[in-house]
Structure 1
Amino acid sequence: MIDAVLFDLDGTLADTSADLGAVLNRLRAEAGQAPLPAATIRPHVSKGVRGLLGIGFALVPGDDGYVELHQRFLAYYGDSLCVATTLFAGVPGLLASLEAEGIKWGVVTNKTSRYTLPVMEALGLGRRAACIVSGDSSPRPKPAADPLLLASTLAGALPARCLYVGDDLRDMQAARAAGMGAIAAAWGYLGDGLPLEAWGADAIIQSPGELTGLLR
């Protein structure tokens, strides 16, 4: 029996790629570079600012200019958190279904609380979630188990009776480390690494509505 379903935020519950991509392209414009198309940016969104600066400027932490660009990215994003961000199709119905069945749901993301909480509020989810665990809520972020275990405690559910749904390999790694069911969201950003089938997920679902079939 499943008592709680936990979700990644970016690329699983919410499509944040347009807002994050707009910030990246703003930085590129300031550097005299052409904008990147959405299809190029999208696979890197789940990797956060590090991944976006990697695709946008070929920079990694430690490179000259990385820290300054990272800080500017976060400042710009903080001013435009939820301009074009929306819930993925099927997510509102899924959350309503979970609530109707008495199954708690929450969010576990590596996004820091400074950005997570305003996005959740803007999407109308902040007061509905049983827990919201951000990247700065626990000592170690995903793929460590820490944030998922914290979420299960906050939701009042045993880890073995929780599912974690995400669109990145580290989501599946975190779920396994926490002893939760690992569900891969095929509608998400997915990245450009190992194929989805190699992530070790307990199940791969093509749309949010398919999750309800795993709860019975």
Structure 2
Amino acid sequence: MSLTKPQAILFDLDGTLLDTAPDLGAALNKVLAAEERPLVTAEEYTPLASHGSAGLLKHAYGIDEFEQRKHELRTAFLQAYADSIANGTALYPGVIDLLEALKTHSIAVAIVTNKPSKLTEQLLPYYPQLHAIDVVVSGDTLAVAKPHPEPLLHAAQQLGVSAEACWYIGDAERDIQAGRAAGMRTILAAYGYIHSSEQPHLWQADHQIQTPLDLLSLL
């Protein structure tokens, strides 16, 4: 398929550029272990990683208990995560080559994540290959977060590029919703965190990629 070359590509972070599930799962299990509760396996927590602390804690504690103890549990989880934020996290295979190729093609790059800015700023320095990405919009950079389109529009504005000239890549339904609402071409990172109960074929992404480098075939 022949596509118009984008001026910028915006990326989600967790489940798209970085495989953060090992450290998110470890944080969840640290909270559970402190209460002598059964731990959660990687097979269970990995598909839920894009849903953040709320999704992981709801799975482990159930919705009712999570709602009753939301502040307490989130505080404990976020502290546990911050304490070991980059122990097992890694760039997805192909991300480094992809970013180099985009630079060669003079395509601007930004990150738009729902991760809180405090954690985003703590995590990114561990990965020098991401240091060249100057525009980073976190979940609390603005008053709204994805699936609202404003974080994506804000990133495009920071890059000096129109929304129509941007592609947005993410692994969650809210990523596709935000990209569509922003008027951007949307690409589903099918290699990311998608739970078996989800139906990504209904999200109406413009394209899917099975690996980061698959993106180059669209350029």
* Structure 1 residues 84 and 62: CA distance shift in structure 2, 3 A: closer
1:116 and 2:128 are equivalent in the alignment: no
Corresponding residue of 1:84: 88
* Structure 1 residues 60 and 107: CA distance shift in structure 2, 3 A: farther
- Tell me which of 169, 180, 185 is aligned to 2:184: 180
Match runs of 1:1-216 below 5 Å: 1-59=5-63, 63-215=67-219
| 8 Å CA contact retained: 2:22, 2:89 | yes
TM-score by length of 2: 0.94
- Once residues 120 and 182 of structure 1 are traced to their aligned partners in structure 2, the CA distance between those partners, rounded to angstroms, is 24
Deviation (angstroms), 1:193: 4.4
- Once residues 134 and 67 of structure 2 are traced to their aligned partners in structure 1, the CA distance between those partners, rounded to angstroms, is 40
SS at match of 1:163: strand
- Once residues 33 and 190 of structure 1 are traced to their aligned partners in structure 2, the CA distance between those partners, rounded to angstroms, is 25
Structure 2: runs of 5+ lacking an equivalent: none
- Offset from partner CA, 1:85-141 (integer Å, 9 cap, x none): 100011111011111111111100000110012211111145311410000111210
| 8 Å CA contact retained: 1:187, 1:206 | yes
- Once residues 180 and 60 of structure 1 are traced to their aligned partners in structure 2, the CA distance between those partners, rounded to angstroms, is 37
SS at match of 1:189: coil
Aligned alpha-carbon RMSD (Å): 1.4
SS at match of 1:183: strand
| 8 Å CA contact retained: 2:57, 2:66 | no
| 8 Å CA contact retained: 1:17, 1:42 | yes
* Structure 1 residues 150 and 90: CA distance shift in structure 2, 3 A: same
| 8 Å CA contact retained: 1:60, 1:66 | no
**Which amino acid is 1:28 matched to?**
L
| 8 Å CA contact retained: 2:66, 2:73 | no
Structure 1: runs of 5+ lacking an equivalent: none
Q: Percent identity?
A: 39
